[in-house]
Amino acid sequence: MGVTKSLSILLLVAVSFVAAAEAANFNMTNNCTYTVWAAAVPGGGARLKPGESWNINVTNGTTGGRIWGRTNCSFDNAGRGKCLTGDCNGVLECNGTYGTAPNTLVEFALNQYNDLDFYDISVVDGFNIPLKLTPSYNCSSVKCAADITGECPTELRVPGGCNNPCTVFNTTEYCCTSGSAGCGPTDYSKFFKERCPDAYSYPMDDATSTFTCMGGSDYSVLFCP
């Protein structure tokens, strides 16, 4: 075998190895008793009947990644319509637009500082569906599965979920719009934190809510764990 040929085979092997290592797979499964329209940025969206799964590959280095579930949607054949919670600009396949509140969020940034993945569950935008996020590597899984909708304070109740106080009251305190100094826990954020201690309950809730894993892990997301 010529040097050129073995070199090109070597290169081919190297290229496919790099391609395989460059994406993280997110496998979303609907364990709820109702249909969930899964949504991902980047990624798109898919209708998941109870028991169904949807897989996406997310590119190495992605920041600002989000996965959430939408409820009570109706879409036409072109994938246009709307959802009661988590709607992303009225399309089945979300295209860069995050969901409307309330929606329980999985958030992630892949291969950051020291090639670490950063991930969390957030109820800063309120709560609609219970969630669990599990890395394939030996790192912490995160869950928010309390009955937040059922126990939601009256003022925050909306059809399909429990809204966040910033969306409802739009004050600097709840929205943390005056910078990090004035951004602390509130009575409402404590309501969420007591029920989901591992989830973000207000924007600066980093200390107890952010998790890391070695870059290269895959992840599974379970709706209604």
Ligand X SMILES: *[C@@H]1O[C@H](CO)[C@@H](O)[C@H](O)[C@H]1NC(C)=O
**Site residues, ligand X (CB under 6 A):** 20-23, 25, 27, 29, 31, 34, 53, 55-57, 60-61, 72, 84, 93, 95, 111, 115, 138, 159-160, 170, 215-216, 220, 222, 224-225
Rounded least distance, CB 193 to ligand X, Å: 22
The 3-state secondary structure of the chain reads: CCHHHHHHHHHHHHHHHHHHHHEEEEEEEECCCCCEEEEEECCEEEEECCCCEEEEEEECCCCCEEEEEEEEEEECCCCEEEEEECCCCCECCCCCCCCCCCCCEEEEEEEEHHHEEEEEEECCCCECCCEEEEECCCCCCEEECCCHHHHCCHHHEECCEECCHHHHHCCHHHHCCCCHHHCCCCHHHHHHHHHCCCCECCCCCHHHCCEEEECCCCEEEEECC
Query: Is 123 or 131 the residue whose CB approaches ligand X more closely?
Result: 131
* Comparison of 1 and 196: residue with beta carbon closer to ligand X: 196
**Nearest to ligand X of 7, 155 (CB atom):** 155
In angstroms, give the least distance from the CB of 5 to ligand X: 25
CB of 120 to ligand X, least distance (A): 19
Nearest to ligand X by Cβ — which residue? Answer: 216
Q: How far is the CB of 92 from ligand X (least distance, A)?
A: 10
Residue 25 or 63: the one with the smaller Cβ distance to ligand X is 25
CB of 75 to ligand X, least distance (A): 13
